[in-house]
């Protein structure tokens, strides 16, 4: 009879920890998955920041790169030029 008490107690503990406790196994699994997702986003944004810093440094040090950036990003032009913007429109399904 004593062996069955421990088995029942162990089963009750596992059920409690799996479903009812504030820090249940299911919640811990969800938190770990969210943590992994946030870590991946952090790595993505770190690489984006590094790339933006490189572009900024290049723009401030290279006159030609600054002119190219202004033309492509803000459609700026010289006084004696005309700019044609071609938009590639994809048909909607």
Q: Alpha-carbon distance 45 to 47, whole Å? A: 5
Q: How many helices (H) and strands (E) does the chain have?
A: 3, 0
Q: What residue ranges in the chain does DSSP mark as E strands? A: none
pLDDT of 61 > 80? The answer is yes
2-56 per-position pLDDT tens digit: 668 888 888 888 888 777 777 777 888 999 999 999 999 999 999 999 999 998 8
Question: Would you tell me the crossing angle of helices 25-61 and 63-74 to the nearest 10 degrees?
Answer: 120
**Full-prediction pTM beyond 0.75?**
no
């Amino acid at each position: 009879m004593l062996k069955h008490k421990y088995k029942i107690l162990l089963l009750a503990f596992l059920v409690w920890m799996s479903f009812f406790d504030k820090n249940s196994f299911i919640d811990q699994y969800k938190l770990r998955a969210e943590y992994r997702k946030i870590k991946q986003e952090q790595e993505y944004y770190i690489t984006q920041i590094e790339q933006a810093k490189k572009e900024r440094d290049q723009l401030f040090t290279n006159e030609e790169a600054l002119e190219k950036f202004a033309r492509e990003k803000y459609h700026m032009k010289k006084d004696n030029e005309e700019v044609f913007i071609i938009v590639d429109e994809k048909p909607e399904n």
